[in-house]
Each structure stands twice: as structure tokens, then as C-alpha cells.
Amino acid sequence: MAKTILILGACGQIGTELTLTLRNLHGSERVIASDIREGGEELMASGPFESLDATDPNALEDAVMHHEVEEVYLMAAMLSATAEKFPDRAWHLNMTSLFNVLKLAKEKMIDKVFWPSSIAVFGPNTPKDRTPQSTIMEPSTVYGISKQAGERWCEYYNRKFGVDVRSLRYPGLISWKTEPGGGTTDYAVEIFHHALKHKSYTSFLSAGTELPMMYMDDAIRATITLMRANPEQLQVRSSYNLQAMSFTPDQLSAAIRKHIPDFRIRYEPDYRQAIADSWPGSIDDTPAREDWGWEPQFGLEETTAIMLKELGKRS
Ligand code: AKB
């Protein structure tokens, strides 16, 4: 029987596009989308959906057995800004779901796992420019602490029990199909919606806050390429650094002004500024390039043009 893939958190920003892409590659029936709530129209119409809470070990095991699942993509998570408001819930969701999946993999009920980490694993004492793969990591956010702990557990389960778990440290992700929710990098998506609707945006990060970012197509391609890589190629079993582009709100607004000349941006930094200030401005992703051939395809200009074009069709 051909393999079945289970996506946990399929209705979120990454989960939606990952599910659609995997369904194109493997066929709709082979990719089970699951989440605690239903997703957008395109996703729901594209193939099977199961209501599933990734923190419930019995429900997860039942789904894995029932669908004869071989690969799990665990995309359910509470992101940085929301996690600061609900630390207990964030820790519970981010860690319990990971343990549930790792345990099933340890018991050989699943062959392969993808788990997303983040640039949030780094902290204020980390070198900010071209942050290396291995460096000081003292995350100062609840989300970052959960991602750093998760990375340690992934590596542990791989080395100790041979679990084939693979991971990427995603930067801020920019997409038009599904909006992000609860992240510090969300401004870089919100700004496009506001630019088209109001020709103005009030940024919750200051003008000069540089952060690593990536267009969603690059993120999906990175994820699938990593999952297809020969296991012997993969030296990093915590999580790979990944870089595509870095920019500030000021630079992004200048790129938008090339398409909408009267677009205006104002700055009213809030509690998310401290989170952004604790993260790197750019990432050194040499191990990802050397081990499995990572190379980004979208920069700031291309991303801006696509976002305005695609969102413009809807407004
Ligand atoms: C967030 O802002 O919390 C996420 C992330 C960088 O992991 N987008």
C-alpha cells in the first residue's frame, strides 16, 4: 500500500499550503489533513479532513493506525506573540504534541516526522548577523523556550532511539493563501492587506527592526526537500538554520511603494518589539546548503510583487 501522510495543524498558515502541495505530489487520498478546527474552502475541498487534537495521545494513535500513516508533519503550534499571553497553554500545545508524535515514532508506528522549529530558538545574546547553526542560544520568549527544548528532544530521540525526525528553523513566513496568527513576524503579511485596502499601515515593530523572512513557496520547497533527503546526508538532527531574505519594516514599505506610490507607514511599537529585538537579523544556513542543497528562490522584490498581485485579485 502507498504511504499515507498525516498533517497535524493543517489549517494554519504553513499547514494549508503544505497540505495542498503534498496532495498534488502524492494524490489527495494519501494526505490526511487534521486540525482542531476546519480550514479555508480550498483546503477543505481538496481531500480528507479529520478533526484531531494533537495533544490527545489516544486520538492521535487511533488516527495513525486507522489511516496507516507513515509520515507525520506536526504543524500545530502556538506562535511567539500569543504564547507570551498564554504561557501554560503554549508550553502544553507545543511540547505535548511533539512528545505524542515522537513516542509513536519510537514505537515504530510512524517512519518519519517533520517538526518546525524557528529563529525564536535564538536569544538576545546570540550573534545577530549571519547567526551560525551552532551558537549561543538563550531564548527569552515562551515560544522560543518551547522550540529550543523541542529541538533537544528531536535530536535525543534520533540519537537514542533512531527516530527519523527532521526539522527547520523557519524565519517569518510570507503568504497570501492563509494569514498567520499570533506571530511577531506577522506584520510582514498584514502590511500587504492594509496597503491594498487603506494605502497605509501602522507597524507594531519599529522602522529599523531587521528580521529573517521567507516567501511561503520557498518554505514548502525546503520542507519537502528536507523530508526527501537521504537520511545519511543529514548531519543536523536538532533543526537546520534557513535563510532567504532579511529586511526591516522601512525596507518593506519602500518595496511596496514601488507598486503603490502613495502607501504610507507609521510606527507604534508594542510588546512584540522586545520579542523581535531578541531575534537575529540574518541567518547563516551553510549546513542546509551543504547537506541537502538548500537554495532560496524568492527575494524581497519578487515576494512584494507576488503578494500585491495575488491579494489584489481578491480585493
Ligand atoms: C513568529 O513570529 O512567532 C513566527 C516565527 C518566527 O516562528 N513567525
Which atom of ligand 1 lies nearest, measured to the CA of 182?
3
* pLDDT at res. 314: 86
Q: What distance in angstroms lies between residue 23's CA and the mean position of ligand 1's atoms?
A: 25
SS in 3 state form for 35-80? ECCCCCHHHHHCCCEEECCCCCHHHHHHHHHHCCEEEEEECCCCCH
Of 128, 74, 132, whose CA–CA distance to 100 is shortest?
Answer: 74
Residue nearest to atom 1 of ligand 1 (CA): 183
What's the whole-model pTM score? Answer: 0.97
Q: Which fold has domain 172-213+243-314?
A: UDP-galactose 4-epimerase; domain 1 (3.90.25)
Which residues in the chain are classed under CATH 3.90.25.10? 172-213+243-314
pLDDT band at 1 (very low <50, low <70, confident <90, very high): low
- What region does 27 belong to: left with phi over 0, alpha with psi -120 to 50, or beta? left
Which atom of ligand 1 lies nearest, measured to the CA of 79?
3
Instruction: Out of 143, 170, 201, 240, pick the active-site residue.
Output: 143
Which residues in the chain are classed under CATH 3.40.50.720? 5-171
Q: How many CA atoms lie within 13 A of 253 on its CB side?
A: 23
* pLDDT at res. 95: 98
Residue nearest to atom 7 of ligand 1 (CA): 118
Is 143 labeled as catalytic in the residue annotation?
Answer: yes
Residue 74: pLDDT above 60? Answer: yes
Q: What distance in angstroms lies between residue 109's CA and the mean position of ligand 1's atoms?
A: 30
Calpha distance 99→67 (Å, rounded): 20
Helices (H) and strands (E) in the chain, counts: 13, 12
Give the Cα-Cα-Cα angle 216, 219, 223 (nearest 5 degrees): 140
Which atom of ligand 1 lies nearest, measured to the CA of 119?
6
Cα distances from 304 to residues 125, 217, 242, in angstroms, run: 31, 13, 20
Q: Which residues line ligand 1 (CB under 6 A)?
A: 79-80, 118-120, 143, 170, 172, 183-185
* pLDDT at res. 140: 98
Residue nearest to atom 4 of ligand 1 (CA): 183
Q: Which of 80, 168, 214 gets mutated to test ligand 1 (max ligand atoms within 8 A of its CB)?
A: 80
Q: What distance in angstroms lies between residue 168's CA and the mean position of ligand 1's atoms?
A: 13
The set of cell numbers assigned to 24 is: 498534488
* pLDDT at res. 245: 98
Q: What distance in angstroms lies between residue 106's CA and the mean position of ligand 1's atoms?
A: 28
The set of cell numbers assigned to 97 is: 504534541
Q: What distance in angstroms lies between residue 2's CA and the mean position of ligand 1's atoms?
A: 34
Which atom of ligand 1 lies nearest, measured to the CA of 147?
7
Which atom of ligand 1 lies nearest, measured to the CA of 80?
3
Q: What distance in angstroms lies between residue 77's CA and the mean position of ligand 1's atoms?
A: 10
Calpha distance 225→196 (Å, rounded): 34
Strands (E), 175-252: 200-203, 211-215, 240-241, 245-247
Q: Which of 84, 145, 184, 272 gets mutated to test ligand 1 (max ligand atoms within 8 A of its CB)?
A: 184
pLDDT band at 3 (very low <50, low <70, confident <90, very high): confident
pLDDT band at 315 (very low <50, low <70, confident <90, very high): confident
Q: Average pLDDT of 82-108?
A: 98
Q: Which fold has domain 5-171?
A: Rossmann fold (3.40.50)
Residue nearest to atom 8 of ligand 1 (CA): 172
pLDDT digits (tens, 9 = 90+) for 222-279: 999 999 999 999 999 999 999 999 999 999 999 999 999 999 999 999 999 999 999 9
pLDDT band at 23 (very low <50, low <70, confident <90, very high): very high
Q: Average pLDDT of 184-189?
A: 98
Q: Average pLDDT of 30-40?
A: 97
Give the SS3 label for residue 46. coil
Q: Which of 14, 75, 79, 271 gets mutated to test ligand 1 (max ligand atoms within 8 A of its CB)?
A: 79
β 164-170/200-203 pair status: unpaired
